[in-house]
Amino acid sequence: MTKEKASQEINWKQIVITSIITGLVSLAVAIVVFFYTTEKTELTYEEFPISTFQSNETELSIVNYTIKNRGQKKAENVKLYIELPPISRIKEPKIESNNPLVEFKIVKQEKNLIIYQVNSLYQFDNLNLSLLVENLKNKNDIKIEVRGNNSVGTLNDNNEKNISPVVLYITLVLVIIFIILLIVLITTARKAAKAFKFFRKRLNEESEIEDRKVADILTQGVDYCDMGMSEESMKVLIKGKYLHPESSAIHSNLARAYARNGQMEKAIIEYNIAEKLIKGETDEMIFNYTKAHYFALNNDKESMISHLKKARDIDKERVIKKIMLDDEFDSYKNDAEFLALNE
């Protein structure tokens, strides 16, 4: 490796390391800023439509509010002020919390005024307030105020889409990292293209070597099987199966060896695998030809002939050359349909 190439490699590593460190530092800063800037109380309240009905010639209404702390810090000494128009009258106030540990009490109640006090309200705690009111014409006539130490409650508009500060910080960090990586990719595009070209060349070479290895295993395994040495054939092909599990031809010939050895169940398993791995006409021809051996050993002439025809249609010369040599077909060599395959 020349000094120039070594220098380029070092620069590449420095750029990647710098981008990673920058991203991590930015993320750490964002997290610190988030915790120091967002730890606060955020009181909100939500109002619901008023339900009105008649009772004993008096118009009654049910008023509902939900008070929440949406901040990261607990709200302390929270007070809820609800004042109705002078003609209205509070009949039955009711308040509940999703947290049984939340303590609250009524500190003041008059004809048209009620004040609740809540000792503390943590994040995700909420209070559900319900009032049965007499002679309330319009919910806009109600005055409500939510206050805590150093915080004032605001009306929560469900249509308002609030974006959490942490989401903004993380988005900013991701954008920064993306920009850095984009710069890295642009500045190293030519080098990446050369690397890909080299990789593709090596991949093709390795693929050719792999094909030769598979061919050598198949040749040895098939030769053993043709000579009636099914045990030796199985040993070679089982080893080949684990070295090259994606080879349909190895599975097909291993199935043939199993069948010759009387292990029909194992043969069927290998044939099923081989059929799923077929990638071309050669694989398909080998699958059909070896499957014909299986049917020949099981005295299924119709299926045997069918598979031999499929194999012959793909590679007639090779099939005709082998068909009269394989021992599995000995009992059919005087059969008219079998002999017709050689025509």
Burial of 186 (0-12, 13-18, 19+ CB in 10 A): exposed
Helices 301-314 and 281-297, packing angle to 10 deg? 160
Tokens standing for 250?
């190895």
Residue 298 has pLDDT above 60, yes or no: yes
**Across 221-236, average pLDDT:** 87
Residue 159: what pLDDT?
Answer: 47
pLDDT of residue 192: 63
- The three-class DSSP label of residue 234 is helix
Domain 193-340, CATH 1.25.40.10 — does that match?
yes
CA distances from 107 to 116, 118, 190, 210 (A): 6, 10, 75, 85
What 3 state SS string does 243-258 have? HCCCCHHHHHHHHHHH
Query: What are the φ and ψ backbone dihedral angles of 104, each rounded to 5 degrees?
Result: -145, 160
Three-class SS state of 6: helix
| Percent of the chain topping pLDDT 90 | 18
Backbone torsions φ then ψ of 82, nearest 5 degrees: -130, 120
Contact call for residues 176 and 182 (beta carbons, < 8 A):
no
Task: List the single range of 9-18, 56-65, 102-111, 219-228 with lowest mean pLDDT.
Answer: 9-18
Checking 2-11 for CB contacts under 8 A at 24+ apart, the result is 8/191
Which stretches does DSSP call E strand in the chain?
Answer: 43-47, 51-55, 58-69, 75-83, 89-97, 104-109, 113-121, 126-134, 143-148, 151-152, 154-155
pLDDT score, position 10 = 47
pLDDT score at 3: 42
Tokens of 122: 């943590």
248 has a pLDDT exceeding 50: yes
Whether the CB-CB separation of 312 and 320 falls below 8 Å is answered with yes
Distance (Å, whole) CA 130 – CA 210: 77
Please tell me the CATH code under which domain 43-149 is placed. Answer: 2.60.40.1170
User: In this predicted structure, what is the pLDDT of residue 194?
Assistant: 67
Q: Where are the domains of the chain?
A: 3-38+165-187, 43-149, 193-340
Is it the case that residue 29 has pLDDT exceeding 60? yes
Mean pLDDT in residue range 297-322: 91
217: CB partners within 8 A, 6+ apart = 236, 237, 239, 240, 243, 244, 250
Range from 6-15, 57-66, 172-181 that averages highest in pLDDT: 57-66
Q: What is the pLDDT of residue 305?
A: 92
Residue 2 predicted with pLDDT over 50:
no
Phi then psi dihedrals of residue 245, to 5 deg: -65, -15
Confidence class for position 179, pLDDT limits 50, 70, 90: confident
Using 50, 70 and 90 to split pLDDT, how confident is the model at 216?
Answer: confident
Q: Measured between alpha carbons, how far is 338 from 336 in angstroms, rounded to an integer?
A: 5
Q: Where are the alpha helices (H) located in 41-112, listed in sequence order?
A: none
Average pLDDT of the segment spanning 146-150: 81
pLDDT score, position 274: 92
